[in-house]
Structure 1
Amino acid sequence: MPPVFYSFFVPALFVWLWSTGFIGGKFGLPYAEPFTLLLIRMLLTLIPLGILAVAMKSRWPGWRGAGHLAVTGVLVHGFYLGGVFYAIDQGMPAGVVSLIVGLQPLVTALAAVVFLREPVSGRQWAGLGLGLLGVALVLVEKLGTPSADAGVPPLTLIWALLALVGISLGTVYQKRFGTGVDLVAGTMIQYAAAATVFGIGAFALETREVQWTLQFQLALGWLVFGLSVSAILILMWLIRRGAASQVASLFYLVPPVTALEAFLLFDERLGPVAIIGGLVAITGVGLVTAKPKAARSA
């Protein structure tokens, strides 16, 4: 394969797959409540992952390691997916949700400073500031829009922020306690823990009614095989090829890709202030995630 295949196409494919998770949720949520949909998704995902774990002879961690992975699963999948799907279900445009949770590298950097004592450069602090400013511009326009079609219910922001905090803290927790674990086995434990959270939420807060329409089945199939299985397998492949850093640097492209998809599929529109805010936020995330020249050339 030519080098460009490894350096651009596969990381870009991963970013695109990740962006479609917001779209899949938008397609599936009219036919099932958020926790119910996510519970079904997690349970179905465990089947192909289990087959893969057997085929790859995955190594399973001990009870202590499994406990750490379960905490990561609750944060990264439970809080993140639950917050994203509830925000979309309650009216927040998919593009806006993806932009808010796209600040994950910024919040993760702050959490790493607090909990892992990692240093932050002046360039990264500037990126943090730009990211927060950009999202503030988006929210000022969307939350302040009087139109019911374009505006966002303010309380919905809580769900999006829950998703952002969950995936950010989960990333730091994984870095602190979850390194060196078999990726397939670790992912299965994380998904099982998330399924427990979604099960409790579905039985405590929802009716668990599902309309098994063709659209719902297609959306669910994509969320399972396109996101929870394929995206993870591609990530594993990228890490083995030594290209994981490229995934991190390209990850901030998820919000604009999602916004474009949401515009084409659902006619979700962003005004000029929100577009400028999105570009500012993406620039900020880029400053935080980009490595210094000295580090890149090393």
Structure 2
Amino acid sequence: MPFKHSALAVLVMIIWGANFVVIDEGLDDVPPLLFLSFRFVLVALPLVFFIPRPTAGWRAVVAVGTFMSLGQFGLLYIALDLGMPAGLASLILQAHVIMTIVIAAIALKESPTRRQVVGASIGTVGLLVVVVAHGATAPVIPVLVMLGAALSWATGNVVARSAGVASGLSLVVWSALVVPLPALLLSLVVDGPAEVGSAVTHLSGVAIASTAYTAIGASLIGYGIWNSLLARHPASAVVPFVLLVPVIGIMTAWLVQDEVPTTLELVGGAVMLLGVATATITRSARPTKEGPPEPSAPVELASPAR
């Protein structure tokens, strides 16, 4: 890729990597599910009135919104609210890649390649190391909730694939409509009307800025640039940049929140990312005399910021 496009890819990774800390800071003033509702209202409105509806059917759009947005981010926000370190959350969410391979093999009868099997095996070992290392020094429940977030995302990937839903900004915007009302109702049940009302009427500047960052910066700007890069270049040239997300996430949490991972957590994380890279990154075909290679199909690793 040209340097300019590589720089844009790195910029998106910085936006997405820092997103975990931004969310965590915003949760200090707003209950997690209410905060989730705020975010996706801003993602959907007013763009839903200007961006054409996805070509996929309503069932597919609702399913994608339920698993990729409501399930994934709902559990992510809850895990952070329960005390999950933001940097470590950015790493554990990468498990969705391994889970997607497994679920697709079971539900869609897709036979994984040898590289995917090896990568998934390595990634699973690294994930187990991270879980055990973190569980030795902190409650394990937030980690399990994060794994639930990764599982929801993986399920959404398989649902989208089986329905033939193409990734795109229209899908992000329209599927966002699935989130606000259920998230608000769940917040009213879990947190109570009094707490919800107090949070709505006493929004801090941090909560407002966090919502704007996650919705506009991470979801719309970040995903818009990402889609543009995937449309112009082979996925094998673009996708590897996503492995920077947990690196930037951990660094941001380290600098902003003094979150210092243990040595064993870092080792396990490195092994897990090695597995993810092995399972997903392939070499692009060399250009021939007839012209450049055809762009490969987009492969989503981890864009928790969407």
Asked whether the two chains share a fold, i.e. TM above 0.5, the reply is: yes
CA–CA separation in structure 2 for the residues paired with 1:162 and 1:50: 29
Within-5 A mapping of 1:153-232: 153-180=139-166, 183-206=168-191, 207-208=195-196, 209-210=198-199, 211-232=202-223
C-alpha separation between the residues in 1 aligned to 2:53 and 2:80? 37
Residues 1:137 and 2:132 are matched in the alignment = no
- Change in 2 beyond 3 A, CA 1:167/1:282: same
Which stretch of the first structure deviates more once superposed, 30-39 or 18-27? 18-27
1:213 maps to amino acid:
S
Structure 2 residue 285 is matched with structure 1 residue 275: no
| Runs of 4 or more consecutive aligned structure 1 residues displaced over 6 Å after TM superposition | none
Aligned residues: 281
Q: Provide the secondary structure at the position in 1 that maps to 2:27.
A: helix
Deviations 1:80-124 (A, max 9, x none): 101111111101101221111112211111122112222222222
Gaps of 5+ in 1: 146-150
Counterpart residue type for residue 78 of structure 2: Y
1:7-156 equivalent positions in 2, closer than 5 A? 8-50=6-48, 52-53=50-51, 58-61=52-55, 65-145=57-137, 151=138, 153-156=139-142
Identity of aligned residues (%): 23
Contact 2:13 2:241 in 1 (8 A): yes
Normalized against structure 1, the TM-score is what? 0.87
Alpha carbon RMSD of aligned pairs, Å? 2.0
Does the CA-based 8 Å contact 1:15-1:247 persist in structure 2?
A: no
* Counterpart-to-counterpart distance in 1, 2:228 and 2:46: 17
State the SS of the aligned residue for 1:31: coil
Is the contact made by 1:21 and 1:227 (CA closer than 8 Å) also made in structure 2?
yes
The amino acid across from 1:4 in the alignment is F
Stretches of structure 2 lacking an aligned partner (at least 5 in a row): 287-292, 294-306
Q: Deviations over 1:192-220 (max 9, x none)?
A: 11223312311221231324222222111
Q: Whole-Å Cα distance in 1 between the matches of residues 101 and 117 of structure 2? A: 9
1:30 is paired with a residue whose SS is: coil
Query: Does 2:277 correspond to 1:286?
Result: yes
Higher helix share: 1
Contact 2:48 2:174 in 1 (8 A): no
- Which letter maps to 2:79? A
